[in-house]
Amino acid sequence: MLTRKQRELLVFINRRIESDGVSPSFDEMKEALNLKSKSGIHRLITALEERQFIRRLPHRARALEILRLPEDLNPAPARGAQPMAKGFAPNVIAGNFPVRSPEPEPPEEAAVPQTPAAAGASGIELPLFGRIAAGTPIEALRDPNVTISVPPSMLGGGDHYALEIDGDSMIEAGIFDGDTVIIKQCDTAENGAIVVALVDGQEATLKRLRRKGDSIALEPANVTHKIQIYGPDRVKVQGRLVGLLRSY
């Protein structure tokens, strides 16, 4: 069963996706439901996701997918909702991925969240380079002996590797503690891309890259975390985010 606020938010998100092709922002949701803070929206979104009514699509701004609506739900629009219209269909690939030994787990480009369902022998083995902080920089852990299987459709040209997320600084981009991100190796990235950045030659962090004059800003996707600003000689791009795996 859904609470009144959960039902209201579900209808609002569904109508906005149908009319605009994208889900509403957290600020729009907060205003539509007359809530005082976005933390209440976070809780409602999490509750709807746990009940399998919605799914968050990482690496895309404002990316939510409606999985189902309750049969008894009266789809009366929440305040600010728009008339329904055909919108886009998110590109989501279902898969079953061998877990990191002994278990595994956004620009925004081809966001392809994967869940344990059916990949197996057809997957490509990528090295899993330990845990990277999505909250504060930590030294990158590299263990080439540990691998994870990834569907070929997630990968383009070039070399790739996987990293486990440790922290919550990218939750508003749909990247959570325990997720495994797929990184394409590169030494440069467009402004606004989510990248693995090496700070001072020894600490790695996953953040959104912003160039501001002669400085480089590494932006979190969590209002409780601060933007980190460095000189250009202190930050080197180690790769760009192209996919995400998650165990439920």
CB 29 within 8 A of CB 41: yes
The one catalytic residue among 23, 30, 149, 207: 207
Q: What are phi and psi of 33, to 5 degrees?
A: -100, 5
181 burial (CB, 10 Å; 0-12 / 13-18 / 19+) is buried
Which residues have C-beta within 8 Å of that of residue 235, sequence separation ≥ 6? 197, 198, 199, 216, 218
The one catalytic residue among 169, 212, 215, 226: 169
Q: Is the peptide bond preceding residue 102 cis, with omega within 30 degrees of 0?
A: yes
* Rg from Cα positions in the chain: 19
Catalytic: 169? yes
Cα dihedral across residues 155, 157, 162, 165: positive or negative: negative
Q: Which residues are catalytic?
A: 169, 207
